[in-house]
């Protein structure tokens, strides 16, 4: 194209320039004609037009595509958690363990006598306490686990001795042992420097294990008070029936699910408490010192406490798994629910006997 052509200095995508059309000057520079734009000026004008067209960000605004909008909505929506399947045979096995635990604690209380005759029942209680220490220390995994487990075993033995040795039945020595055991468990974790950092996180775990161990010793004290043996029979029967009925119901009809991560159903928990209360009311009509009403009240408290403790153990295990903690021993994981239920039902039975029955 010749230099005198009117298209010199124009870019094909810019369109016609505003204003009247002017002819470009010739090579020799015609008098009175406008000077031709230099390449730098053309580039600056093109950049200014692009800036006006694209906006201050330099990027042309575009509408979000359908895939991008769907992706943002999916990110905002809560993720659906797949429910944990209910293992029916496992629920039946846990129910069988709860039933055996009920028979052992009740039969031991019925065969206990005064004085040194309480030692066999204390041995039975000590065996249950060992199972509790094993299950809950493996589940919670506090810092310095071997030291805490050893302290809890020593606390169990001292609590049983404190329940048998006094001339009069009192729970005060057992409480002193619980306080001393908790302090010893915390100090055992402070010995090692590596565990000292987590000591604040493990205070609740250590207190829970120590209190659970000492709670079983209250059954020995309860057997020494008036109506204590009958109260053990009524309360532990209600506890065992509640746990067994709840687990068997979960094996057949685990609905409605209380949480997707917990393989338990609300029907089992409610039905278990009702069955335990009914069993206590029936037994109360035949046991001396009880009536159907008093048996139902005592059984309701024990059965409800045991059912809630069993359910809380399932929630705590699900929480540990969601937090990414390593899985615990299989048998310990499924023993802690029934053991926690009886550990809570034992002091409840003592309180109901002392405050309500006598």
What are the tokens at 241? Answer: 């029936």
Answer yes or no: is pLDDT of 225 > 50. yes
For residue 226, which of 168, 282, 299, 303 has the smallest C-alpha distance? 168
In sequence order, which ranges of the chain are alpha helices (DSSP H)?
Answer: 39-54, 66-76, 88-111, 119-140, 145-164, 172-191, 193-196, 199-222, 228-252, 266-284, 292-322, 330-352
Phi, psi of 263 (to 5 degrees): -80, 55
Q: What is the pLDDT of residues 52-86, one digit of tens each?
A: 665 554 444 445 455 445 554 445 455 566 788 88
Condensed to tens digits (0 to 9), the pLDDT of residues 170-192 reads 999 999 999 999 988 888 777 76
What lies within 8 Å, CB to CB, of 117 at 6+ separation is none
Q: Give this prediction's pTM.
A: 0.76
Is the pLDDT at 283 greater than 60? The verdict is yes
> Quick one: pLDDT band at residue 152, thresholds 50, 70, 90?
very high
């Amino acid at each position: 194209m010749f230099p005198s052509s009117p298209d010199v200095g124009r870019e094909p995508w810019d369109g016609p320039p505003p204003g009247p059309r002017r002819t470009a000057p010739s090579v020799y520079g015609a008098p009175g004609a406008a000077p031709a734009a230099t390449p730098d000026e053309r580039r600056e004008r093109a950049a200014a037009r692009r800036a006006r067209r694209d906006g201050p960000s330099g990027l042309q605004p575009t509408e979000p595509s359908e895939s991008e909008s769907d992706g943002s909505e999916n990110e905002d929506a809560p993720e659906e958690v797949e429910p944990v399947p209910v293992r029916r045979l496992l629920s039946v096995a846990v129910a069988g363990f709860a039933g055996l635990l009920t028979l052992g604690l009740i039969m031991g209380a019925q065969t206990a006598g005064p004085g040194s005759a309480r030692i066999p029942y204390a041995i039975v209680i000590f065996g249950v306490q060992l199972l509790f220490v094993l299950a809950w220390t493996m589940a919670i995994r506090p810092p310095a686990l071997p030291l805490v487990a050893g302290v809890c075993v020593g606390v169990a033995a001292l609590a049983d001795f404190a329940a048998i040795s006094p001339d009069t039945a009192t729970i005060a020595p057992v409480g002193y042992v619980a306080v001393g055991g908790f302090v010893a468990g915390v100090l055992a974790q402070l010995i090692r420097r590596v565990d000292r950092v987590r000591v604040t996180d493990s205070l609740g775990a250590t207190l829970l294990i120590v209190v659970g161990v000492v709670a079983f010793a209250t059954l020995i004290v309860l057997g020494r008070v008036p109506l204590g043996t009958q109260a053990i029979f009524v309360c532990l029967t209600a506890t065992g029936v509640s746990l067994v009925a709840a687990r068997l119901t979960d094996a057949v009809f685990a609905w409605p699910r209380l949480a997707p991560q917990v393989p338990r159903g609300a029907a089992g928990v409610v039905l278990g408490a009702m069955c335990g209360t009914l069993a206590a009311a029936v037994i109360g009509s035949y046991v001396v010192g009880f009536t159907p009403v008093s048996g139902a009240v005592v059984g309701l408290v024990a059965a409800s406490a045991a059912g809630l403790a069993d359910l809380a153990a399932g929630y705590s295990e699900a929480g540990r798994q969601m937090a990414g903690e390593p899985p615990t021993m299989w048998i310990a994981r499924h023993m802690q629910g029934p053991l926690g239920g009886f550990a809570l039902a034992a002091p409840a039975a003592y309180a109901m006997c002392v405050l309500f029955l006598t």
